[in-house]
Amino acid sequence: MPDITGLDHISLTVRDLDRSAAWYSDLFGFTKIGQVPDDGRSGAKMLLYHPASKLVLGLSQHQRNPGEPFSEFRTGLDHLALAAASREDLERWSARLDEAGVKHSEIQPGVRGDLIVFRDPDNIQIEVYARTPS
């Protein structure tokens, strides 16, 4: 069996490409590394890069998107979990989210550590997760 060598990118469908790109860039520090303009059939796409984590995030604005907010209760993505190094970093994230005006949960226990839960402009659930050292 061939191996998978890692995660190449994550791509999310959004309702407003520019709004979402600005939100992810302002909150997390992603930078734009590429864009495919709307071809008149399938919509526009943008790639963002996060230097510290090396995560590539794709955003797609499909022409046939009916404009509904995301729901994890439909088949597909449930949530996006981003890693933090420690509980102290979660406390810094809590303060950062407050500064940005992003509604979020308190730090809470998860299966393998602690996390904060919040949502992006399209209602996609995001967690910042700090694993408990084993």
Read off the CATH number of the domain in which 2 is found: 3.10.180.10
SS3 45: strand
Residues 77, 51 share a domain: no
Main-chain dihedrals φ then ψ at residue 96, nearest 5 degrees:
-60, -45
Residues 78, 55 share a domain: no
Structure tokens at 19: 């709004």
Residue with tokens 């439909």: 74
Count structural domains, the chain: 2
Residues 13, 55 share a domain: yes
Torsion, Cα 18 21 26 29, to 10 degrees, reads -150
Residues 130, 95 share a domain: yes
Give the model's pLDDT for residue 66: 86
Residues 82, 49 share a domain: no
Give the model's pLDDT for residue 42: 79
Domain that holds residue 13: 1-67
Over the chain (134 residues), the average pLDDT of each successive run of 10 is 89 95 97 91 92 95 88 90 95 97 97 97 96 82
pTM of this structure: 0.91
Residues 63, 6 share a domain: yes
Residues 6, 62 share a domain: yes
